[in-house]
Amino acid sequence: MSIRIGNGYDIHRLVEGRPLILGGLKIAHTVGLLGHSDADVLTHAIMDAMLGALSLGDIGHYFPPSDPQWAGANSLLLLASVNQLIQERGWQIENIDSVIVAERPKLKPHLPQMREKIAKTLKISPEQVSIKATTNEQLGPVGREEGIAAYAVALLVS
Ligand SMILES: Nc1ccn([C@@H]2O[C@H](COP(=O)(O)O)[C@@H](O)[C@H]2O)c(=O)n1
Ligand SMILES: C[C@@]1(CO)OP(=O)(O)OP(=O)(O)OC[C@H]1O
């Protein structure tokens, strides 16, 4: 058995007139994340962690922000295709750990549903997907609610 580990990070700006989508879940809030795709920072960080584990580059390589094809893209569909990419190479996810950094809204009540959505997309159990939330203690751009960030680690086995 071989194992590989990867990490991912993403941040998107919060603006009015956009939905807030995190882990594939639409969350009621006054502002949402700006991006070429649905700007789902958590899912983006997870994809980069999976790609990083196999030194396969980053999501921008597979889904260029300059490509109109990805305008408004559902990041869960991109996640499914990254999963296919690693499976084609003989790898599967052992577990994912992640954290969303957001001052607001309160994300704890939404975390179980996010775990289910990510796990279903990756065809693994929700127990293999950890999603946490923390504030940035009002420090920096995230602390000023200018954006939301996410970090993820993925362990792959073959
Ligand atoms: N957007 C968020 C941020 C945090 N939480 C939960 O609150 C706990 C305390 O957060 P601190 O940043 O003050 O340490 C954290 O452990 C999360 O459970 C949240 O639900 N939504
Ligand atoms: C998935 C993509 C597609 O445009 O999403 P974006 O919303 O542009 O988000 P970003 O994390 O800046 O870059 C990743 C892109 O590949």
Centre of ligand 2 from the C-alpha of residue 2, in Å:
30
pTM greater than the 0.95 cutoff: yes
Q: Give the pLDDT confidence score for residue 10 in this predicted structure.
A: 98
Burial class of residue 75 in the structure, from the number of CB atoms within 10 Å of its CB (0-12 exposed, 13-18 middle, 19+ buried): buried
- Predicted ipTM of the assembly: 0.96
Give residues with Cβ within 8 angstroms of 112, minimum separation 6.
126
Domain ranges of the chain: 3-137
- What does the pLDDT look like over 94-148, one tens digit per residue? 999 999 999 999 999 999 999 999 999 999 999 999 999 999 999 999 999 999 9
CA distances from 146 to 14, 26, 62, 90 (A): 5, 19, 27, 40
**In which band, very low, low, confident or very high, does the pLDDT at 72 lie, cut at 50, 70 and 90?**
very high
Architecture of the domain delimited by 3-137? 2-Layer Sandwich (3.30)
Q: Which of 93, 99, 96, 97 is nearest to 132 (CA)?
A: 99
Residue nearest to atom 4 of ligand 2 (CA): 65
Ligand 1 and 134: CB distance under 6 A:
yes
Atom of ligand 2 nearest to the CA of 62: 16
Ligand 1 and 101: CB distance under 6 A:
no
